[in-house]
């Protein structure tokens, strides 16, 4: 069979060029792979869901329910009633959470190890875009069950889209196919964006990301410089790397099915179909920091520019659009503010502990997000101590204190040598003397 294929596809050349490509091995490199695996599981479980989901708000009768309900809602009841239907829906749900978390951790590893520097600036930018698109796809899928929970959470995003001065209402109408909720175009519009257009964009970006990564070659652990100077130290793409990735994929599938089976996505009947009741729901964790900002920006923080029918700059615009956009642009620009020594290409991973400024800034940034997230709980039972003014204080003070404390700890531990990468001593096994 190999010979038959080789004669037609010149597999030998492919084998020599692609399959023998060397991949450096480091446990943190699996974060990018886990992000990829989540995407694959999302597509596979998504195919099952699309085969059984009805993207329509037409009213239909469901056995056991007195009032007619929207077809989208009814189809989720149907999916949950299929053998393993609720588990597959839950695996889809949890894979989305894992993909966002893994992409974010992957971003942190790139940031903390300096892998974003020349020549990988492009892949850094594509990565940020992928993270944003992933979050957008997750948001677009939120409303599809069309239950009270999904609609209430999606309304927050709809309000943010509408808050953009002058163009917001038009943007929201295009995105949601009319007023939300209520328009019969809502579900078909969100559905096509969620299952087709945005995943296609994501697939294109992932393909580009991986092609660039293969072309530029992976950064390597520091010891590779000593063991194989000027070369790539690692294992061939096939069979070793492929085998490791294959095993990790199977483990990933097993774990996500365990999570999906153990913790089912919320049953739609717990909240019921669209009604005037607004349940007290919060957005998912990755939106909570924006939700927190929306809670603490005072409603008086608003003005209108009396031009072209008036452009309103309200708190939702500041918290939901301006601050996240500033952070996004800042993140995109990171590689252009840090340079490699002598402007050479970055080949090796940097130790976070030996780059205390960057590491402390990253931890401070995380603290900012955590404090904003905490503000999302203002007014909840048990959180009475958290007033709006205290939340402001925490958001400003905690990141600054964190920066100085973590910087001080790194300086205290490594003293004068804090900026130097440690000397690597190579120990060769089998009782031989070290060679380097
Ligand atoms: C959202 C979907 C994403 C997928 C599926 C993905 C996938 C991958 C994979 C499989 C690798 C190789 C293994 C590794 O280094 O972990 C990689 C490398 C890389 N990724 Fe991503 N990634 C994603 C998001 C991001 C993000 C958010 C960033 C940063 C903003 C980023 C920046 C990079 C860079 C710079 C490399 C090269 C790393 C090196 O050479 O050390 N990626 N990505």
Residue 330: which CATH number?
1.20.810.10
Would 302 be classed as within a structural domain? Answer: no
Token readout for 19 is 């399959």
Residues of the chain below pLDDT 50:
433-436
- Are residues 362 and 332 located together in one domain of the fold? no
Pocket test for ligand 1, best of 32, 123, 211, 242 (most atoms within 8 A of CB): 32
- Are residues 265 and 405 located together in one domain of the fold? no
Would 24 be classed as within a structural domain? Answer: yes
- Are residues 338 and 362 located together in one domain of the fold? no
- Please say which residue of 319, 343, 367 terminates a domain: 343
Contact 125, 212 (CB under 8 A): no
- Please say which residue of 296, 315, 343 terminates a domain: 343
For ligand 1, whether the C-beta of 134 sits within 6 Å is: yes
- Are residues 360 and 240 located together in one domain of the fold? no
Pocket test for ligand 1, best of 22, 28, 102, 106 (most atoms within 8 A of CB): 106
- Are residues 332 and 398 located together in one domain of the fold? no
For ligand 1, whether the C-beta of 138 sits within 6 Å is: no
Cα 134 to ligand 1 centre (Å)? 14
H-state helical runs in 113-241: 121-142, 148-162, 168-176, 186-192, 198-216, 224-227
- Are residues 330 and 360 located together in one domain of the fold? no
Cα 91 to ligand 1 centre (Å)? 23
β-partners of residue 40 are none
Q: Find, among 135, 111, 141, the residue nearest to 123 by Cα.
A: 111
Q: Give the nearest ligand 1 atom to 217 CA.
A: 40
Contact 234, 26 (CB under 8 A): no
| HSE of 416, CA atoms in CB hemisphere, 13 A | 0
Would 296 be classed as within a structural domain? Answer: no
Tell me what pLDDT residue 205 has: 98
Tell me what pLDDT residue 21 has: 85
Token readout for 325 is 């956009």
Tell me what pLDDT residue 415 has: 66
Would 393 be classed as within a structural domain? Answer: yes
Alpha-carbon distance of 203 to 200, in angstroms, equals 5
Alpha-carbon distance of 20 to 372, in angstroms, equals 47
Tell me what pLDDT residue 290 has: 97
Tell me what pLDDT residue 436 has: 41
Cα 204 to ligand 1 centre (Å)? 14
- Please say which residue of 343, 365, 393 terminates a domain: 343
Tell me what pLDDT residue 434 has: 46
Would 277 be classed as within a structural domain? Answer: no
Structural domains counted in the chain: 2
- Are residues 121 and 217 located together in one domain of the fold? yes
Cα 107 to ligand 1 centre (Å)? 7
Q: What is the pLDDT of residues 282-313, one digit of tens each?
A: 899 999 999 999 999 999 999 999 988 889 99
Q: Give the nearest ligand 1 atom to 32 CA.
A: 16
Pocket test for ligand 1, best of 117, 202, 213 (most atoms within 8 A of CB): 213
Tell me what pLDDT residue 61 has: 96
At residue 264, what are phi and psi to the nearest 5 degrees?
A: -70, 145
Beta pairing, strands 303-305 & 311-313: antiparallel
- Are residues 137 and 90 located together in one domain of the fold? yes
Q: Give the closest residue (by CA) to ligand 1 atom 24.
A: 127
Instruction: Note down the domain range covering 384.
Output: 351-427
Q: What is the pLDDT of residues 52-105, one digit of tens each?
A: 999 999 999 999 999 999 999 999 999 999 999 999 999 999 999 999 999 999
Would 290 be classed as within a structural domain? Answer: no
- Are residues 417 and 375 located together in one domain of the fold? yes
């Amino acid at each position: 069979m190999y010979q038959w294929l080789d004669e037609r596809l010149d597999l030998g050349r492919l084998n020599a060029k692609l399959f023998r490509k060397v991949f450096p091995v480091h446990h943190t490199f699996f974060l990018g792979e886990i992000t990829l695996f989540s995407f694959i599981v999302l597509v596979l479980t998504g195919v099952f869901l699309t085969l059984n989901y009805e993207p329509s708000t037409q009213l239909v009768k469901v056995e056991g329910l007195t009032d007619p309900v929207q077809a989208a809602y009814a189809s989720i009841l149907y999916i949950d009633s299929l053998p393993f239907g609720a588990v597959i829906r839950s695996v889809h749900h949890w894979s989305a959470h894992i993909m966002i978390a893994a992409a974010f951790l992957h971003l942190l590893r790139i940031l903390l190890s300096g892998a974003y520097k020349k020549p990988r600036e492009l892949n850094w930018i594509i990565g940020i875009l992928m993270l944003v698109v992933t979050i957008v796809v997750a948001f677009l899928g939120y409303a599809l069950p069309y239950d009270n929970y999904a609609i209430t959470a999606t309304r927050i995003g709809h309000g943010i889209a509408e808050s953009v001065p002058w163009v917001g209402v038009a943007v929201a109408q295009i995105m949601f196919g009319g007023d939300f909720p209520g328009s019969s175009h809502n579900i078909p519009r969100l559905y096509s964006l969620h299952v087709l257009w945005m995943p296609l964009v994501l697939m294109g970006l992932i393909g580009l990301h991986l092609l660039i990564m293969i072309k530029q070659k992976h950064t390597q652990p520091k010891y590779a410089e000593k063991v194989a100077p000027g070369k790539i130290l690692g294992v061939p793409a096939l069979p070793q790397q492929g085998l490791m990735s294959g095993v990790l994929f199977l483990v990933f599938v097993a774990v996500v099915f365990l999570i999906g089976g153990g913790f089912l996505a919320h049953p739609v009947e717990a909240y019921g179909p669209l009604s005037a009741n607004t349940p007290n729901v919060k957005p998912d964790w990755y939106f909570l920091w924006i939700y927190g900002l929306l809670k603490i920006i005072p409603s008086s923080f608003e003005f209108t520019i009396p031009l072209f029918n008036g452009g309103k700059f309200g708190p939702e615009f500041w918290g939901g659009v301006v601050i996240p956009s500033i952070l996004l642009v800042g993140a995109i620009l990171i590689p252009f503010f840090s340079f490699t020594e002598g402007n050479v290409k970055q080949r090796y991973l940097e130790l976070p502990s030996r780059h205390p400024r960057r590491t402390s800034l990253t931890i401070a940034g995380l603290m900012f997000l955590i404090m904003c997230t905490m503000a999302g709980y203002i007014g909840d039972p048990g959180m009475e101590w958290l007033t709006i003014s205290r939340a402001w204080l925490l958001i400003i003070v905690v990141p600054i204190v964190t920066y100085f404390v973590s910087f001080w700890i790194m300086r205290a531990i490594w003293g004068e040598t804090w900026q130097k990468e440690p000397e690597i001593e190579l120990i060769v096994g089998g009782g031989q003397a070290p060679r380097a």
